[in-house]
Amino acid sequence: MKFVTVEHDGRQRAGVLAGDSIHVIEPAASVQQLLDDSGTRLRDAGDRALRDSNLVIPIAEAHLRAPIPNPSTVRDFMTFEEHFIGVSGIAGTDAELPSVWYKAPGFYFTNPHAIQGPYDDVAVPPGCAAFDLELEVAAVIGSGGRDLTPAEAEQKIIGFTLMNDWSARDLQAAEFALPLGPTKGKDSAISLGPWLVTPDELEPRRLGDRYDIPLTARINGEVIGSDTLASMSFSFGQMIAYASRGTQVRAGDIFGSGTCGGGCLAELWRRHGSGIRPPLAPGDVVSIEAAELGRQSSRIVAGAAGVDIALFLAGRPVGGH
């Protein structure tokens, strides 16, 4: 099944997609409220809506929001070797990744309050002059756990969705001078959707513990990169299991795959120089797609000027309070 969150009459409603129509789930529960360990509750709600929904909305008229619009946490991983090599400037066919790459799937926590819908405009972050896209796929779990095995973790996946982890590359580069990881370079927007696809729909594309799903990124209609989800160095089960080590993961948590190979401008800039293609700017249209997971389309718009923190620091001695 494909589950969506649709805005109708000023309210966000959960629904299930069938053909070109969305069958709204009654009562007006969110997708998150329908999550459980086995996925039975979500599927049963979807079946009832398909049989007898009081509200059916043509997909062409629907205002789709992110399928999971209010997650408690979003963990974003880096699991595609080609992307890591590309943005790290590691060159050559015999390039070697750091040994730590293969020991565990690295991730960081990003901003759950920055979730946006699959067709929403995306604003350039304040102070950013090198705005970029990041084509990813995210897994959502239907129940929580602690110290999971990869097999246990995979069984908890309730669905998959497209994810664009927008990045302010110049802000990000400056932040990496501090040993804290990304902050304002990564927290302005995360686009999710258009729908949450249950794992059974992807079984024909299963390749071991991965899925051979083609991924494509475009800017203004021109392909800038493509890959397959099967190129991940770690499976989603391994990623979620590692995230659960010594702590809890909970229903509705989102786990991003990290950017696929060729899924951002930063790789082009590192390989061919910054002149190969300009950063994203107001008026550009970014689209990402992944077979059964659908397609996002986001128009870039001008953002706020932002607060100049230097004004608040002016005249203060270093280390002052």
- Is the domain of 126 the same as that of 49? no
- Is the domain of 61 the same as that of 123? no
- Is the domain of 169 the same as that of 279? yes
What is the spatial distance between Cα 116 and Cα 63, in angstroms, rounded to a whole number?
12
Report the run of H or E that residue 248 belongs to, with start and end: strand 248-249
Determine the pLDDT at residue 160. Answer: 98
Kindly state whether residue 317 falls inside one of the protein's structural domains. Answer: no
Kindly state whether residue 47 falls inside one of the protein's structural domains. Answer: yes
- Is the domain of 114 the same as that of 192? yes
Q: Is pLDDT of 316 > 80?
A: no
User: What residues make up the domain containing 246?
Assistant: 74-301
Which ranges of 129-220 does DSSP label H, i.e. alpha helix? Answer: 150-155, 169-175
- Is the domain of 46 the same as that of 79? no
- Is the domain of 194 the same as that of 57? no
What is the spatial distance between Cα 156 and Cα 250, in angstroms, rounded to a whole number?
10
Per residue in 159-176, pLDDT (tens digit) is 999 999 999 999 988 888
Determine the pLDDT at residue 296. Answer: 98
Strand duo 21-24 + 210-211: pairing: unpaired
Span 126-133, mean pLDDT? 95
Determine the pLDDT at residue 313. Answer: 59
Give the angle 217-220-222 at the CA atoms, nearest 5°.
Answer: 55
- Is the domain of 297 the same as that of 193? yes
Per residue in 271-315, pLDDT (tens digit) is 888 889 999 999 999 999 999 999 999 999 999 988 877 766 565
- Is the domain of 159 the same as that of 200? yes
Determine the pLDDT at residue 302. Answer: 97
Confidence band of 93 (pLDDT split at 50, 70, 90)? very low
Q: Is pLDDT of 221 > 90?
A: yes
pTM as predicted: 0.93
Per residue in 34-50, pLDDT (tens digit) is 987 667 889 999 999 99
Kindly state whether residue 246 falls inside one of the protein's structural domains. Answer: yes
- Is the domain of 83 the same as that of 11? no
The proportion of the chain whose per-residue pLDDT surpasses 90, expressed as a percent, equals 75
Number of domains in the chain: 2
The proportion of the chain whose per-residue pLDDT surpasses 70, expressed as a percent, equals 93
The answer to which of 6-15, 145-154, 192-201, 250-259 has the lowest mean pLDDT is 6-15
What is the spatial distance between Cα 141 and Cα 158, in angstroms, rounded to a whole number?
5
Span 184-200, mean pLDDT? 95
What is the spatial distance between Cα 109 and Cα 107, in angstroms, rounded to a whole number?
7
- Is the domain of 37 the same as that of 86? no
Kindly state whether residue 280 falls inside one of the protein's structural domains. Answer: yes
